[in-house]
Amino acid sequence: MKLLEIKELSVEYVTPLGVIRALERVNLGVERGEFLGVVGESGSGKSTLGYAIIRLLPQNARVSGKILFEGFDILSAKEEQIRKIRGKSITMVFQDPFTSLNPLFKVGEQITRPLEVHYAMSKRDAQQKMKHFLSLVGLSDYVLSCYPFELSGGTQQRLMLAMALSTAPSLIIADEPTSSVDASIQAQILRILLEIKKKTSFSMILITHNIEVASSVCDKLCVMYAGRLVEFGSTKHVLSDPKHPYTQALLSCIPRPRESKTQTKKLSAISGNPPDPFNTPTGCKFHPRCSHAWKLCGEEEPKESVVGERRVLCHLYNG
* Secondary element (H or E) of residue 206: strand 203-208
Per DSSP, what are the bridge partners of residue 205?
36, 173
- Rounded CA gap, 25 and 6, in Å? 9
- Rounded CA gap, 267 and 194, in Å? 29
- Establish if 46 lies at the interface with ligand ATP (CB under 6 A): yes
Binding map of ligand ATP across residues 53-82, x = CB under 6 A, - = no contact: -----x-x----------------------
Between 106 and 292, CB nearer to ligand SF4: 292
- Rounded CA gap, 296 and 319, in Å? 13
- Rounded CA gap, 166 and 164, in Å? 6
CB of 239 to ligand ATP, least distance (A): 21
Stretch that binds ligand ATP, among 12-20, 125-133, 198-206, 252-260 (CB under 6 A): 12-20
Binding map of ligand SF4 across residues 299-318, x = CB under 6 A, - = no contact: ---x-----------xxx--
Query: Angle at the Cα of 2 (from 63 to 230), degrees rounded to 5?
Result: 55
- Rounded CA gap, 254 and 14, in Å? 35
Binding map of ligand SF4 across residues 234-273, x = CB under 6 A, - = no contact: -----------x----------------------------
Stretch that binds ligand SF4, among 43-51, 66-74, 147-155, 283-291 (CB under 6 A): 283-291
Q: Do the Cβ atoms of 205 and 221 come closer than 8 Å?
A: no
- Rounded CA gap, 186 and 271, in Å? 28
Between 43 and 97, CB nearer to ligand ATP: 43
- Strands, sheet with 304-307, edge to edge from the N-terminal-most edge strand: 90-93, 171-175, 203-208, 35-39, 220-225, 228-234, 310-313, 304-307
Stretch that binds ligand ATP, among 14-22, 69-77, 140-148, 186-194 (CB under 6 A): 14-22
Q: Site for ligand SF4 (CB under 6 A): which residue of 284, 295, 299, 308?
A: 284
- Establish if 40 lies at the interface with ligand SF4 (CB under 6 A): no
CB of 274 to ligand ATP, least distance (A): 8
Task: State the residues that interact with ligand ATP by CB under 6 A.
Answer: 13, 15, 20, 22, 40, 42-48, 58, 60, 209, 277
Task: State the residues that interact with ligand SF4 by CB under 6 A.
Answer: 245, 284, 286-287, 290, 292-293, 297, 302, 314-316
